[in-house]
């Protein structure tokens, strides 16, 4: 009985440790799914105008992803998107996928492709 409790405790502790990642690890995982990424395509995606309810990523995140933004509909404050300005960005794959799913639907009126996710993340990580 003690061994199974110990094993369960270690498994829970390990699972907590593995949820944290660096932005570079997140990009590597996205690149593996997409076959690579392009900073230029990512910037085009960030700055582009699309057919969703919110026409552009910049609508909420501002022209400079290193600055704080505000959601155009709810007016809630949004912390900077670029990891250089917000160390919590792109450090949890579950959150990254959640926000891509939600924001891509709002801006692109569809889910992002694996390529778009990798490109967008590459652009965010390129900002200094």
List, for residues 36-95, the tens digit of each pLDDT value: 999 999 999 999 999 999 999 999 999 999 999 999 999 999 999 999 999 999 999 999
CA distance 21 to 41: 24
| 41-to-15, 29, 44, 45 alpha-carbon distances in Å | 34, 18, 5, 6
Q: Does residue 99 lie within any of the structural domains?
A: yes
Note down the domain range covering 103.
Answer: 21-126
Quickly state the pLDDT bin for 7 (edges 50, 70, 90).
very low
Q: Taking the model in full, what pTM does it have?
A: 0.84
Q: Does residue 47 lie within any of the structural domains?
A: yes
| 113-to-10, 11, 15, 95 alpha-carbon distances in Å | 36, 32, 27, 16
CA distance 95 to 104: 14
Question: In the chain, how many domains are there?
Answer: 1
60 within 8 A of 72, measured Cβ to Cβ: yes
List, for residues 80-115, the tens digit of each pLDDT value: 999 999 999 999 999 999 999 999 999 999 999 999
């Amino acid at each position: 009985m003690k061994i199974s409790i110990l094993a369960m405790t270690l498994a829970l502790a390990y699972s907590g440790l593995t949820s944290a990642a660096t932005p570079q690890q997140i990009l590597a995982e996205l690149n593996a799914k997409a076959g690579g990424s392009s900073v230029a395509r990512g910037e085009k995606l960030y700055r582009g105008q699309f057919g969703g309810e919110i026409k552009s990523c910049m609508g909420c995140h501002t022209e400079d992803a290193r600055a704080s933004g505000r959601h155009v509909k709810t007016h809630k404050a949004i912390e900077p998107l670029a990891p250089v300005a917000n160390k919590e960005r792109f450090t949890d794959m579950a959150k990254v996928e959640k926000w891509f799913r939600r924001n891509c639907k709002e801006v692109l009126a569809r889910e992002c492709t694996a390529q778009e996710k990798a490109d967008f993340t590459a652009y965010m990580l390129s900002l200094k």
